[in-house]
Amino acid sequence: MIKKKKTIDQPEELPAWAAEVSKESAEPIMEHEEDEQLSREDRDQMDTLRDLAVDEMETYLNDTIVNLGRNETNAFASAVDALQRDSGRSVPA
């Protein structure tokens, strides 16, 4: 019969960096550090202004992209028209 040695379970000690990481993750992170000194009401107003600015930028970009697509389509159609006119004027051999 083979006898096994008894092992005593010792709790594993975490590395030093693990304690630092867990301490960091417990701290709340400010999304906008520049707002730290503001009151809660002022922070809410800043968030509202940021949201409005983002909405306006999205609207502008969406409109610009639509207009660019329209301009590209119009330019392509003009080029096709010009080619069709030029090919109609060519003298057959």
Domain ranges across the chain:
36-85
**DSSP one-letter string for 12-42:** PPPPHHHHHHHHHHHS---S-GGGTTS-HHH
Task: Identify the CA nearest to 52 among candidates 32, 63, 60.
Answer: 60
Q: For 29-50, give one letter per residue: b (16+ CB within 10 A) or e.
A: eeeeeeeeeeeeeebeeeeeee
Task: Identify the CA nearest to 33 among candidates 46, 22, 20.
Answer: 46
Read off the pLDDT of each residue in 43-65 and give the average, rounded to a whole number.
95
Give yes or no for a contact between 53 and 42, defined as CB atoms under 8 angstroms apart.
no
For 57-69, write each residue's pLDDT tens digit: 999 999 999 999 8
Q: One-letter amino acid identity for 60?
A: Y
For 6-36, write each residue's pLDDT tens digit: 666 556 777 888 888 877 776 677 778 888 8
